[in-house]
Amino acid sequence: MISIRHIVKQYANHRALDDVSIEIEQGKVFGLLGPNGAGKTSLIRIINQITAPDSGEVLFNGEPLNQVHINRIGYLPEERGLYKKMEIGEQILYLARLKGLSKAEAQKRAKYWFEKLEIQGWWNKKIEELSKGMQQKAQFVATVLHEPELLILDEPFSGFDPVNAETIKNEILELNKKGATIIFSTHRMESVEELCDSIALLNLSHKILDGKVKTIRNSYRNGTYVLEYEGEQVRMPGAAPFAILKETSHDTHQQMILKINAGSKVNDVLQYMLPLASINKLEEVVPTMNEIFIQKVGGATSSNQ
Amino acid sequence: MDKILLIIQREYFSRVKKKSFLVLTFLVPVLFIGMIGLIAFITASQNEFGDLKKVAVIDESGRFVNKMKNGNNMSFTYVTKPFETTKKAFIKDGYDYLLYIPSSLTGVQLLGEKKPSPLTSGKIEDDLSNLIRSQRLVEAGIDTVVLAKAQKHISISPQQVKANGAIEDAHVVASLAVGFICAFLIYLSLFLYGAQVMRGVIEEKVSRIIEVIISSVKPFQLMLGKILGIGLVGLTQFILWIALTLVLSTVAGTVLVKNVKAKTEQVSAAQHMMAQDTQGTQVDSPAAESGNKMENVLKELQSIPVTKTISCFLFYFLFGYLLYSSLFAAVGSAVDNETETQQFMFPITLPLIFTFALAQSVIINNPDSPLAIWLSMIPFTSPIAMMIRIPFGGVTNLQLAASMLFMVLGFLFTTWVASRIYRVGILMYGKKASYKELAKWFMYKD
């Protein structure tokens, strides 16, 4: 769908993107991750043709990016904004028509979306009269009204309460099911794991990691497990096939996080533990995207918001 | 192109639909006509409004008895009582001032409860000096006929020779007024609508809708759409103003002239009566004079090439606006809020203020001087300078064509410069832009 090839973007004093290449597959949800200032917004602006790269190219379904593609992309910027003094319905029609929709068609679709998001009563209200959540919904409608093949969402859930965030998430997934490719830029790693098929991680203008979420997480496995058992805490006799990283003691059950020694297997752990305790659970701890993010970026600038 | 049209539509209708637009459109001509009407009315009936000063005159020299002219809000009454007694009683007797002329003619005094205005004392001084000069000349043996001839006041009636040899009255006063009003309106509206463009840009930047819009259209399209949309608002407003003013002034004009005439007759009749009361003093009615002046001005106004003036006005307004508003747009894009605009506004407004200052003196006094001609050629100054010159009739078609061509070229140039700054500026936040910064933005590749 989108091939980003060797993009370089140079501003006066710093290089925002340095030889960045990313492939985004048709119909997938793609996470664009990175700390603040990593170059995400610069890249998004290039895909949106707001700015042009100094070198490199972006292909949209194999064609070099050009004006024709503008109407096939929907963009929800991180910093939301609508005309404060303009009526919300009129405003959405305006934005949709700027994306090439006819007035009648825009009207029809806007009605549909307003009902779907339960904001139909607000058509004639000015933006400044709406609550923040309501404004966000309106902005979301404006982004998707022209049924873009590619949806670029920059922190789509910020500003929503949990209920509305869930609504919007479901709408995004539904659009994805209908065939829209989604680029999803965020700091929130838990939503990345939930939504994204693949990701690319940018840091200091470079792409430092990309691939399928599952593959990435698996490649960061390091033999860490969580083990829970009943009863009193047991003492470990002799040489255990693992090292204990952390132990938590509760009244009736115990939990420990352990790392299997090199050369040992999960079965060795069970064999060792079975005579000692009544085991409830033994589960591998696959690193979360958050942990990988922090590890790769260095911890300093990451955030969970 | 369709998208620019959409943007123009939004910018235009979102402003025209506002109540303030309607109010302004209808209020301004009414106020304008009302103001002119009021001035005319006050001038015509000065004597009723201005309070009439009654001056008692004691003339020991006997030279001025019954010779001081009434008028200019003064009426003179000659008393024969001695100065010392009158001095104490004149206020009680209902006079405002006492003019005492000793026989030696030195030490003339004007006494009053209130200080006389310089106008009042000046007028009396002039009258006395003129009278004494004539008398002395007569005494020196100059024939009164010669004297009358010598005192003839010459008034120039300016005539303009057209290319075909025809001679027309040159209506200097009206040309002056029309030129000045047009220049002033352009000066004002460039600021007014230019600032609207700037505020519109800042609004889009601050509300952050800018990023959504320029993911749909090119920044240049947005800038141009906004400028054209607001320009159309200005044009609509001016056309409505001109139309309403023409209609209202035609109506008001006929009523006014009739009124002034009637008033003039009334006033002069009243003054005749008053004059007879005051021992048949000469009467020179200022009301009659002002009535004639009014008619003359109306006549003069009709002689100005209305169509040419209006069409040039609209042209220079539109292109002057286009030229300046693109710069205003660039300024708007470079800042985060309106208070930061100051440092960039100055160089933009400087040529306007400069020309407007010159317009009031140099250009209006000598509309065909080389300086005036140059100013009417340079796109940054021509909207104002040209509007002053046009009503005087000295602008050749070649000059006008050249000026208009430069105007269009100037507009294209500033728009090009502005758009290069604009496209970068609208995406910059939280960074206080300097001129160096703007130059850098200008140099960025697309």
**Residue B416 C-alpha, separation from nearest chain A C-alpha, in angstroms:** 18
- pLDDT tens for residues B246-271? 887 777 667 766 666 665 666 566 55
- pLDDT tens for residues A250-292? 878 889 999 999 888 899 999 998 888 889 999 999 998 988 9
Residue B45: inside a domain, yes or no?
no
Strand A224-230 relative to strand A279-284: parallel, antiparallel, unpaired?
antiparallel
Chain B contact for A40, CB < 8 A?
Answer: no
The CATH code that applies to domain A2-218 is 3.40.50.300
Poorest-confidence range of B21-30, B110-119, B126-135? B110-119
Burial A2-41 (b: 16+ CB within 10 A, else e): bbbeebebbeeeebbbbebebebeeebbbbbbbbeebbbb
State which amino acid sits at residue B343: Q
Poorest-confidence range of A248-262, B135-149, B220-234? B135-149
Give chain A positions within 8 Å (CB) of B422.
none
Q: Is B283 found in the same domain as B204?
A: yes
Q: Is residue B283's pLDDT more than 60?
A: no
Q: DSSP H helical segments within B165-285, as ranges?
A: 172-206, 209-213, 219-277
Select from B203, B212, B445 the Cβ nearest to the Cβ of A77. B212
Mean pLDDT of A53-60: 93
Q: Name the pLDDT band for A184 (thresholds 50, 70, 90).
A: very high
Q: Is residue B234's pLDDT more than 80?
A: yes
Instruction: Inspect the interface and report whether the beta carbons of A86 and B14 lie closer than 8 Å.
Output: yes
Q: Name the pLDDT band for A110 (thresholds 50, 70, 90).
A: very high
Instruction: Inspect the interface and report whether the beta carbons of A83 and B216 lie closer than 8 Å.
Output: no
DSSP state of B225: H
- pLDDT tens for residues B370-380? 999 999 999 99
Q: Is residue A133's pLDDT more than 90?
A: no
Residue B107: inside a domain, yes or no?
yes
**Rounded CA separation A221/A29 (Å):** 23
Domains identified in chain B, total number: 2
Q: Is residue B120's pLDDT more than 90?
A: no
- Tell whether the torsion through CA atoms of A205, A206, A211 and A215 is positive or negative: negative
Mean pLDDT of B63-76: 76
Residue B406: inside a domain, yes or no?
yes
Q: Is B263 found in the same domain as B406?
A: yes
Q: Is residue B302's pLDDT more than 70?
A: no
Q: Name the pLDDT band for A3 (thresholds 50, 70, 90).
A: very high
Quote the pLDDT of residue B125.
84
Q: Name the pLDDT band for B144 (thresholds 50, 70, 90).
A: confident
Quote the pLDDT of residue B151.
72
Quote the pLDDT of residue B261.
64
Chain A contact for B217, CB < 8 A?
Answer: yes
Quote the pLDDT of residue B60.
83
With CA atoms as reference, the chain B residue closest to A74 would be: B215
Q: Is residue B85's pLDDT more than 60?
A: yes
Chain B contact for A70, CB < 8 A?
Answer: yes
Q: Is B175 found in the same domain as B88?
A: no
Give chain B positions within 8 Å (CB) of A92.
none
Residue B162: inside a domain, yes or no?
no
Quote the pLDDT of residue A263.
87
Q: Is B65 found in the same domain as B13?
A: no
Q: Name the pLDDT band for B304 (thresholds 50, 70, 90).
A: low
Cβ-based neighbour number of residue A168 at 10 Å: 20
**Rounded CA separation A288/A190 (Å):** 8
Interface with chain B: mutation pick from A41, A98, A152, highest number of B CBs within 10 Å: A98
Instruction: Inspect the interface and report whether the beta carbons of A52 and B445 lie closer than 8 Å.
Output: yes
Mean pLDDT of B122-150: 82
Q: Which of B436, B388, B435, B383 is nearest to B410 (CA)?
A: B383
Instruction: Inspect the interface and report whether the beta carbons of A98 and B211 lie closer than 8 Å.
Output: no
- Helix, strand and coil percent figures for chain B, each rounded to 5: 70, 5, 25
Dihedral angle of Cα B283, B285, B289, B294, to the nearest 10 degrees = -160
Q: Is B24 found in the same domain as B77?
A: no
Q: Is B367 found in the same domain as B254?
A: yes
The residue among B113, B147, B181 that closes a domain is B147
Interface with chain B: mutation pick from A40, A47, A51, highest number of B CBs within 10 Å: A51
Identify the three-state secondary structure at position A137: helix
Q: Is B136 found in the same domain as B248?
A: no
Poorest-confidence range of B1-10, B104-113, B115-124, B342-351? B115-124
Cα distances (Å, whole numbers) of residue A255 to A232, A244, A285: 11, 11, 13
Q: Is residue B133's pLDDT more than 90?
A: no
Q: Is residue B72's pLDDT more than 90?
A: no
Give chain A positions within 8 Å (CB) of B1.
none
Mean pLDDT of B182-201: 91
Give chain A positions within 8 Å (CB) of B222.
none
Instruction: Inspect the interface and report whether the beta carbons of A84 and B427 lie closer than 8 Å.
Output: no
Q: Is B129 found in the same domain as B181?
A: no
Residue B434: inside a domain, yes or no?
yes
Q: Is B196 found in the same domain as B320?
A: yes
Mean pLDDT of B145-170: 68
Chain B contact for A121, CB < 8 A?
Answer: no
Chain A contact for B209, CB < 8 A?
Answer: yes
Q: Is residue A64's pLDDT more than 80?
A: yes
Chain A contact for B60, CB < 8 A?
Answer: no
- Tell whether the torsion through CA atoms of A95, A101, A107 and A108 is positive or negative: negative
Q: Is B235 found in the same domain as B199?
A: yes
Q: Is residue B412's pLDDT more than 90?
A: yes
Quote the pLDDT of residue A231.
80
Mean pLDDT in chain A?
89
**Rounded CA separation B281/B275 (Å):** 5
Q: Is residue B273's pLDDT more than 80?
A: no
Chain A contact for B14, CB < 8 A?
Answer: yes
- Domain with B87 in it: 51-147
Q: Is B241 found in the same domain as B109?
A: no
Q: Please return the burial class of A121, using the count of CB atoms within 10 Å of its CB with bins 0-12, 13-18 and 19+.
A: exposed
With CA atoms as reference, the chain A residue closest to B446 would be: A52
Residue B358: inside a domain, yes or no?
yes
Poorest-confidence range of A34-48, A93-107, B165-179, B270-284? B270-284
Poorest-confidence range of A88-97, B139-148, B224-233, B249-258? B249-258
Strand A253-260 relative to strand A224-230: parallel, antiparallel, unpaired?
antiparallel
Quote the pLDDT of residue B123.
80
Instruction: Inspect the interface and report whether the beta carbons of A81 and B209 lie closer than 8 Å.
Output: yes
Choice between B136 and B232, residue whose per-residue pLDDT is larger: B232
The reported pTM is: 0.76
Q: Is B327 found in the same domain as B225?
A: yes
- pLDDT tens for residues A24-45? 999 999 999 988 888 998 999 9
C-beta of residue A84 within 8 angstroms of C-beta of residue A132: no
Residue ranges of domains in chain A: 2-218, 222-284
Chain A contact for B20, CB < 8 A?
Answer: no
Residue B152: inside a domain, yes or no?
no
Residue B66: inside a domain, yes or no?
yes
